[in-house]
Amino acid sequence: MLGKLRERLPASWLILGCLLPDLIDKPLFYGLLWARGDPDPLIAGSRSVGHSGVFLALLLAVALVARRPAAWAIFAGVVTHVLLDLGGELLTGPRPESSIWLAILFPLLGWRFPEAHFRSMLEHLRLSAENLYVLAGEIVGGAILLVAWWKRRRARPQSS
């Protein structure tokens, strides 16, 4: 079933949706961290607005109104991203102050987003590289993209 759904959704928009939460939240967090010198009281980590249920609801509303495959692909990509982040937390165990549930259920659990346990991009990358779930996800994701690229390349007609 997922295969047929994936065939109906534009791949480029689906990929954008998969990346969108981090494209929003990481620059927001690091920009505020750089500007303030300390974490922002509200945006204290790299999972905030783009990982929130409010954002998901907004994207769902846009997809329902627009009725366009691109809108549905972005929504599906963001849902996939949040579910994968949630899966990682379920496997590794959440810290209450940094649980992704604070972002997903924002503002129902309070007017705060999850706190980061790193204070720089380099520290964030180092901690991510030490996490087996993150590494496995990056390897699998890279392999999926490589296979999709290879299939697409082989399917193109060769010019003579």
pLDDT level of residue 1 (50, 70, 90 thresholds): very low
At 95 the pLDDT is 75
At 4 the pLDDT is 59
Q: Which residue has the tokens 């993209």?
A: 145
Q: CA–CA separation, 47 vs 116, rounded Å?
A: 8
CA 47 distance to own-chain centroid = 9
Q: What is the pLDDT of residues 91-132, one digit of tens each?
A: 777 777 778 888 888 899 888 888 777 777 777 677 766 666
Best CA proximity match to 69, nearest among 13, 3, 147, 134: 13
Q: CA–CA separation, 56 vs 44, rounded Å?
A: 20
Instruction: Judge contact between 9 and 72, C-beta under 8 A.
Output: yes
What residue ranges do the domains of the chain occupy?
2-118
Q: What is the pLDDT of residues 34-78, one digit of tens each?
A: 888 777 778 778 888 999 999 999 999 999 999 899 999 999 999
At 25 the pLDDT is 92
Task: Give me the percent of the chain exceeding a pLDDT of 90.
Answer: 22
